[in-house]
Amino acid sequence: MKKNLECVTSLKSPASSTELPPRRILTYLIPLRILLGQLPSQNLLNDFSNLQDLYLPFTSAIKKGDIAAFDRALETKEKRLLDLNLWLTIEKARELCLRGLFRKT
């Protein structure tokens, strides 16, 4: 949790030449926060269009409890998630989608 806070704080401070760009940090931080039940804000995703393209279908499906949409997004984004070594992390977030579905009923 402390490292999570440090990463978020580092995104707000000016970057030096030796630090990773915020997009790269967020690429891996967002899925971890999703697993903790903290979905990224729409404003954050709007600032980084490539991250919006990757994570918006999952966050929308989790909010709605739409398992079919989550599975479609997982199938559609599978190659990119595998390339980033994030497929398993996002697949585990399916449980949050199930939780949302059960809350609706």
pLDDT in tens, 43-89: 999 999 899 999 999 999 999 999 999 999 999 999 999 999 999 99
Q: Which residue is listed with tokens 């690429």?
A: 27
Sign of CA dihedral 55, 60, 65, 68: negative
Q: How many CB atoms lie within 10 A of CB 45?
A: 20
Residue 4: band (very low, low, confident or very high) from pLDDT cuts 50, 70, 90: low
Q: Quick one: pLDDT at residue 14?
A: 57
**Greater pLDDT, 6 or 68:** 68
Distance from C-alpha of 9 to C-alpha of 79, rounded to nearest angstrom: 31
Q: Quick one: pLDDT at residue 91?
A: 95
- Calculate the CA 43 to chain-centre distance: 13
Q: Which helix (H) or strand (E) holds 24?
A: helix 22-35
Q: 58 φ, ψ to 5°?
A: -70, -45
Over 80: is that where the pLDDT of 8 sits?
A: no
Q: Quick one: pLDDT at residue 1?
A: 56
Q: Quick one: pLDDT at residue 79?
A: 96
Q: Quick one: pLDDT at residue 100?
A: 82
